[in-house]
Amino acid sequence: MINSLVFPRPSEAFKFASTRFDGSRKSKYSKPGMELTLTQPDDWHLHLRDDDLLQAVAPHSAKHFGRAIIMPNLKPPITTTAAAVAYRESILKALPADSNFTPLMTLYLTDTTSPNEIKLARRSGVVFAVKLYPAGATTNSQDGVTDLFGKCLPVLEEMVEENMPLLVHGEVTDPDVDVFDREKVFIDTVLQPLIQRLPRLKVVMEHITTMDAVRFVESGEEGFLAATVTPQHLILNRNALFQGGLQPHNYCLPVLKRETHRQAIVSAVTSGSKRFFLGTDSAPHEKQRKECSCGCAGIFNAPVAISLYAKVFEEAGALDKLEAFTSFNGPDFYGLPRNTSKIKLTKASWKVPDSLSFSFGNIIPMFAGETLEWQPCVGEKAEMLNEVQEVGANKG
């Protein structure tokens, strides 16, 4: 009988993960004190949860991002426009009083979603996409789709008419398919046929994890097929799940893959392609729900995401392409204006907290206890930067 579970400190795993770069590729931007000014980024894939967890984590995303596509996999899921509007109000109430953060809502696609609901969503002005969860694929996906073509085709056709994007968790749930192959099989059996049948449907393949997904996205028509990419899938490979012992805080879905897949994703993202954009998939769980005999999938990366993306682009020698990935490609795909505010990143060391404490318990952030090298400038300093740039623009 097992009386207790003992896990290595999260920082022990992240020490391994943080060495997964080619140190020989030095960046011309890597001088200490170097500053980068970026158009404020958006997060095109974010879990804010609800109730106490929402109150705890929403300020962390609002601190760095201007907007975010909000995932609808609550209990019960956000399946109607009315529910999305109500959830949006809860998010706004959870934000700091001085926050300008804008939640962009989504609907949770089910076997019974109606085409009329898509019309209502588009007319609401607050719903910007529909999320496809194959039933059983990830957290709170038990109400997801069981037969996309047999039960959802009228809804998908209405989405084409309304220019409403479909956001896809791209994994099959067949237990006979190896967990590391489920993304590729989904592409072959679901996404390829979907694109062929509805070529004008805008599709975002979310949190891609394989070179197969990279090739698929690059093969599609620009403006109709794109992908979001998380910091964990750019920095970690599947060894990070087991290095030094079982690492529950590195467990997410889709699960981390081989190093060759990570490298393919880094190459695609840092190439300057407009098809890839920032989506953190920040997915918080209370510590005890991660460190248990059946731990939840999800990595809480909101406090560190911008710093980690900068690290990836710096070590690829592509900091000049960072802003497009974080701030331009996403709104351009969705047909939304780019943000006008700015943030500043400074090459300065800062330590990630070991944990974040709240009334309901603790949340362990990604790279807990580790030192990162790019520090976002927020709050009063960022406001001063914006004011200076606005004065300069007015003079021009």
The mean pLDDT value of the chain amounts to 90
Domain assignment of residue 33, yes or no: no
Domain assignment of residue 2, yes or no: no
Q: What is the mean pLDDT of residues 315-344?
A: 98
Domain assignment of residue 97, yes or no: yes
Longest alpha-carbon distance in the chain: 73
Enter the DSSP assignment of 372: E
Domain assignment of residue 353, yes or no: yes
Q: What is the pLDDT of residue 138?
A: 72
The CATH number of the domain holding residue 303 is: 3.20.20.140
The parent domain of residue 134 ranges over 40-386
Q: What is the pLDDT of residue 16?
A: 39
Catalytic residue positions, numbered: 45, 47, 131, 169, 207, 281
Domain assignment of residue 3, yes or no: no
pLDDT band at residue 23 using 50, 70 and 90 as cut-offs: very low
Sequence-separated contacts (24+) of 57-62 with Cβ below 8 Å: 57/282, 57/284, 57/300, 57/302, 57/363, 58/91, 58/94, 58/95, 58/101, 59/94, 59/95, 59/96, 59/99, 60/302, 60/303, 61/101, 61/280, 61/282, 61/302, 62/95, 62/96, 62/99, 62/101
Single-letter code of the amino acid located at 3: N
Q: How many domains does the chain have?
A: 1
Domain assignment of residue 30, yes or no: no
The pLDDT of residue 393 is above 70: no
Domain assignment of residue 195, yes or no: yes
Pair type for strands 35-39 and 43-46: unpaired
Q: What percent of the chain has pLDDT over 70?
A: 87
Domain assignment of residue 319, yes or no: yes
Q: What is the mean pLDDT of residues 124-152?
A: 88
